[in-house]
Structure 1
Amino acid sequence: MTAAEDEVVELASELIRIDTTNTGDPATVTGEREAAEYVAAKLTEVGYEIEMVESGAPRRDNVVCRLKGSDPNRGALLVHGHLDVVPADPTEWSVHPFSGAVQDGYVWGRGAVDMKDMVAMMIAVARRFKRDGVVPPRDLVFAFLADEEAGGAYGADWLVKNRPDLFEGCTEAVGEVGGFSLTLAEDKRVYLIEAAEKGIAWMRLRARGKPGHGSFLHEDNAVTKVAEAVARLGNHTFPITMTDTLRAFLQQMRELTGLEFPEDDLEGALAKLGPVARMVGATVRDTANPTMLSAGYKANVIPSSAEAVVDCRIIPGREEAFLREVDELIGPDVTREWVTHLPALEMPFDVPLTAAMAAALRTEDPTAATVPYMLSGGTDAKSFADLGMKCYGFAPLRLPPDLDFASLFHGIDERVPIDSLKFGARVLDTFLRSC
């Protein structure tokens, strides 16, 4: 039992008990400072010199520290995790979402997989290294961040723009949503490493028309214009796009499973992989999902304007073609503008860093194979890539074969297996000693 493994469950539970709900509205965000103070205390207790930075708004705090490595000529590695979580309704859960309950072989609560599990691993390994005098092969920068769940404007993005000195020398980064297992057979598991992310583009559609009485005939109705545009966009299927990451994933899965993935039935073939198909299937084409509608102020008044918000996720290299399709679908009477616009990312996979991930996994799971995949969402990697870092998702977890891991992200009864947490702490410890 390593020291990191010994305390990672307690750390995860205590972090979950700090309600760090991020609604996206700065006026209602809670708990990020308390979580940052908790992290800072755990790190200073073992001797780290930490920097706690408020990022652009009151109580939006981040904690950064550096552990010197043996080779100052090598680029540093950034290990980053976010402290905020999405909202949770306690009435929908079987345990309170901020209880941090440790029961039935799991740690339960909002953030258990997104991503206080990884944050707990980071703290546990960082503490172990400092206590035991471990000198990694290169500098390690640990960053615990605010506001990831709302795009990082008060977290990673702010730090990159205003405090890039905190990440001086960092050439690579590892963060969330990668390194988790998919069981192919009783003694055969594959671990998905995030090597790409779709772009995030929340788009506002707006139409104007002639206002008037609801009982009259109207041919220039703003609500109708937006509704028709939203329906066309929401019902549209964008073309399959074979990125380098998707090709590599499919090729390696063919070799591991013997399955074929024909392009004319790609999503059907992916479904044979089980619940993880939802994560991978969302990355084979662009998506545009309407999420919000707004118009009018009284039932019998036709308003002069109407709006909708659409959550668009765009494959690397597809933005221009995507926007052309969007413009054709919404038509000339509806305008569009970005609410949030974060770029897509795609990184090379056959590099020494991912080889070190694979080697670390095999120390705990000799059958482990690794494959790259693209994340349909986004992470703070989008900000750190602006500093030239190559960014990957690696929060290692060996999962039970029957656990629907994808459904736990932002889901009800979010939880992480205790054994998986301990496995992750051991793997992260090995990885950071050798990368």
Structure 2
Amino acid sequence: MVRMPTVPSAASSEPSDRLATGAVPGAREQVGGHPTAEDEVVRICQELIRLDTSNYGDGSGPGERAAAEHVMALLTEVGLAPEYYETAPGRANVVVRLEGEDRSRPALVLHGHLDVVPAQAKDWKIDPFAGEVHDGLVWGRGAVDMKDMDAMILAVVRQMAREGRRPARDVIVAFFADEEAGGVWGARWSVDNRPELFEGATEAISEVGGFSVDVDGRRAYLLQTAEKGIGWLRLIADGRAGHGSQVTTDNAVTHLAGAIARIGAHPWPLALTPTVRALLEGVADLTGLPFDPEDEGTVDRLVRALGPASRFVGATVRNTTNPTQLVAGYKANVVPGRAEGVVDGRFVPGTEEDFLATIRDLAGPHVRVEHIHRDIALEVPFEGDLVDAMVGSLLAEDPGARVLPYTLSGGTDNKSLARLGITGYGFAPLRLPADLDFAGMFHGVDERVTTDALRFGVRVLDRLLRSA
């Protein structure tokens, strides 16, 4: 279903009460009276956070429509002609193509998602949808996942449009729905139903890469060149229903409980991919610690040296299986005939078949394993012109830092774009305080990002689009 929104007039300069934020402290104006990308990025991030786009994964959330319409307004205001389309009521996507200086080169996709995971205000210090700035940090759901990157993209693109400046090659800017539930109504739908939007594209850039970490007093940036595959699995046990007082050897709850316990406690062995090895070698070089890929002790010490980022990296040295849901029974004295559980499985590139075979073996003969959502793992080399441009853009803004490849323990919309042969990287550049638990912000409480990191990010992205 396609629906064009009503977009505020570009001539209107009055923000709505809902989005009014006031002037950005320290703002500088360009010639002609327009704010720069650095001036706008914090305000845009606040505005996007204030638009609740919670994705509950079952179609019950508010959808992305409000945020997508706001994105449309920001883009049309500077003379661009984006396309808006809904894949289901309220599930909105926005795509615009920027013509490059060299149109003979393959296009680059620069994409973000507009949905966020839910947040309960009672658990937060600050309302997660207030988009407030305190102590130099923007607080709110989406501040790092990923309305910060959305804001950086919008701020840079708006400045380029105002200046009449083209990127080095065609850039397809996309804001997708539904990433937090696998992209079914966003990137996946777009790739399957609107592939022409990405015509000529060979590479893509999105979230969860390009952020800084402190390694033994040295700053390093982790550029995402791989991501684990997804296996969200439903475990189903059938048994004989009956009275709770009777002896039964065919209890569905018992079958399921055993399977869940075995899978949840399984000690998955190390499975170091080329990306993970390159990262650990880089950390060893920075710290002087030894690295033996066969020795879990040396691997664990190198992972811990990454500080808060060890949450991401520690989950990429092996497959993982975390039970997340259980459903069974309806009364204390009734043995149910069926019990179900859910496991969030993530597998490193190249291990999917062994991973699934192990799960089925651990589940046992009385438990069926079904896929809720299954998606590929990705891994690409830490080399090439685009990688060189990303590394160069970071180091131009932070000389003396190191840039290392890493694997993301989660997944991104790059999985969907890979169906079109598009090679994806994670690159949402942020220079972060060493003590900020960045990895813990993702899907956590009190999500926040520094305003300085956002301004750093737009400088890096602007450099990248000039050269990539």
- What TM-score range do you get, normalising by the shorter chain? over 0.9
Pairwise mapping of residues 273-284 of structure 1 onto structure 2 (< 5 A)? 273-284=306-317
Between the aligned partners of 1:183 and 1:306, the Cα distance in structure 2 is: 46
Counterpart for residue 78 of structure 1 = 109
Q: 1:238 aligns with which of 265, 268, 271?
A: 268
Q: CA deviation at 1:268?
A: 3.6
Going from structure 1 to structure 2, the CA distance change for 1:269 and 1:360 (only over 3 Å counts) comes to closer
Between the aligned partners of 1:223 and 1:13, the Cα distance in structure 2 is: 47
Q: CA deviation at 1:102?
A: 1.1
Contact 1:18 1:31 in 2 (8 A): no
Q: Secondary structure at the match of 2:305?
A: helix
Contact 1:179 1:397 in 2 (8 A): yes
CA RMSD of aligned residues (A): 1.1
Q: 2:143 aligns with which of 104, 112, 132?
A: 112
Q: Secondary structure at the match of 1:46?
A: coil
Q: CA deviation at 1:79?
A: 0.3
Q: 1:20 aligns with which of 40, 53, 62?
A: 53
TM-score, normalised by the number of residues in structure 2: 0.91
Q: Secondary structure at the match of 2:291?
A: coil
Q: Secondary structure at the match of 1:275?
A: helix
Contact 1:71 1:137 in 2 (8 A): yes
Between the aligned partners of 2:290 and 2:152, the Cα distance in structure 1 is: 36
Pairwise mapping of residues 135-154 of structure 1 onto structure 2 (< 5 A)? 135-154=166-185
Contact 2:52 2:62 in 1 (8 A): yes
Pairwise mapping of residues 212-291 of structure 1 onto structure 2 (< 5 A)? 212-262=242-292, 263-265=295-297, 266-291=299-324
Structure 1 letter corresponding to 2:215? L
Q: Secondary structure at the match of 2:180?
A: helix
Establish whether residue 53 from structure 1 lines up as the match of residue 88 from structure 2.
no
Moved more, 362-371 or 163-172: 362-371
Deviations along 1:72-100, one digit per CA (max 9) or x if unpaired, are 11100000000000000100111100000
Identity of aligned residues (%): 57
Counterpart for residue 390 of structure 2 = 357
Counterpart for residue 44 of structure 1 = 76
Counterpart for residue 62 of structure 2 = 30
Q: Which runs of 5+ in 2 are unaligned?
A: 1-27, 31-35
Between the aligned partners of 1:32 and 1:270, the Cα distance in structure 2 is: 36
Contact 2:110 2:204 in 1 (8 A): yes
Counterpart for residue 370 of structure 1 = 403
Structure 2 letter corresponding to 1:278? R
| Residue-pair matches, total | 432
Between the aligned partners of 2:289 and 2:108, the Cα distance in structure 1 is: 36
Between the aligned partners of 2:231 and 2:358, the Cα distance in structure 1 is: 14
Q: 1:298 aligns with which of 327, 331, 335?
A: 331
Counterpart for residue 230 of structure 2 = 200
Q: 1:127 aligns with which of 141, 144, 158?
A: 158
TM-score, normalised by the number of residues in structure 1: 0.98
Structure 1 letter corresponding to 2:131? G
Structure of greater relative contact order (alpha carbons < 8 Å, 6+ residues apart): 1
Between the aligned partners of 2:196 and 2:73, the Cα distance in structure 1 is: 23
Establish whether residue 173 from structure 1 lines up as the match of residue 204 from structure 2.
yes
Q: CA deviation at 1:31?
A: 4.4
Q: Secondary structure at the match of 2:404?
A: strand
Q: Secondary structure at the match of 2:372?
A: strand
Establish whether residue 10 from structure 1 lines up as the match of residue 37 from structure 2.
no
Contact 2:82 2:94 in 1 (8 A): yes
Q: 2:450 aligns with which of 371, 392, 417?
A: 417
Between the aligned partners of 1:207 and 1:310, the Cα distance in structure 2 is: 14
Between the aligned partners of 1:359 and 1:269, the Cα distance in structure 2 is: 26
Counterpart for residue 368 of structure 2 = 335
Q: CA deviation at 1:349?
A: 1.1
Between the aligned partners of 2:367 and 2:58, the Cα distance in structure 1 is: 27
Establish whether residue 63 from structure 1 lines up as the match of residue 101 from structure 2.
no
Q: CA deviation at 1:255?
A: 2.0
Q: Which runs of 5+ in 1 are unaligned?
A: none
Deviations along 1:292-338, one digit per CA (max 9) or x if unpaired, are 11111111111111111100001111011112211221111111010
